[in-house]
Amino acid sequence: MLSALAALLLCQLAGEAVVRALELPVPGPVVGMVILFALLAAKAPLPSMMQDTADGILRHLSLLFVPAGVGLVNNLDRLGADGLKLFLVVIASTVIALTVTALVFAGIARLMGDQHGERSGMSAPEKSA
């Protein structure tokens, strides 16, 4: 558990270093994710608890957004008089982005005759479109 956490932090640290060195427009942890992925894909020797530790953290990913969410409530006055309109844009644009992304993904997967995503993710596996 502890060595797995250390491995995660080391990947993040390496990610931060790469971002600084190459002036990439992404956060260090995202590059850290790519580094860990490369290590996993290359079957590099990693701490045995890696899988359990990662699953444990991701199971409670919601918890990690609580401080930022409280910051949102604290900064609501920044929205000013246009708060309602801003909120409307957020809702409408999020609905559009979700719809376009999911429909394009599922539509092209179907066109390619690739039912895999459907089969593996469906609650009723025998049903195929």
Residue 101 found at the interface with another protein (CB under 8 A): yes
Say whether residue 2 binds another protein (CB under 8 A): no
Burial of 36 (0-12, 13-18, 19+ CB in 10 A): buried
Would you count residue 91 as binding another protein (CB under 8 A)? Answer: yes
Is residue 1 a contact point for another protein (CB under 8 A)?
no
Planar angle of CA 110, 115, 118, nearest 5 degrees:
100
From the CB of 46, what's the least distance to another protein, in Å? 9
What is the footprint of another protein within residues 15-74 (CB under 8 A)? 15, 25-30, 32-37, 40-41, 50-51, 53-55, 57-74
Give SS3 for 100: helix
Residue 121: phi and psi, rounded to 5, are: -100, -5
Query: Taking the complex as a whole, how short is the minimal distance between the CB of residue 2 and another protein, in angstroms?
Result: 13
98 sits near another protein (criterion: CB under 8 A):
yes
Tell me the closest approach of the beta carbon of residue 23 to another protein, in angstroms: 11
Whether 99 contacts 92, CB under 8 Å: no
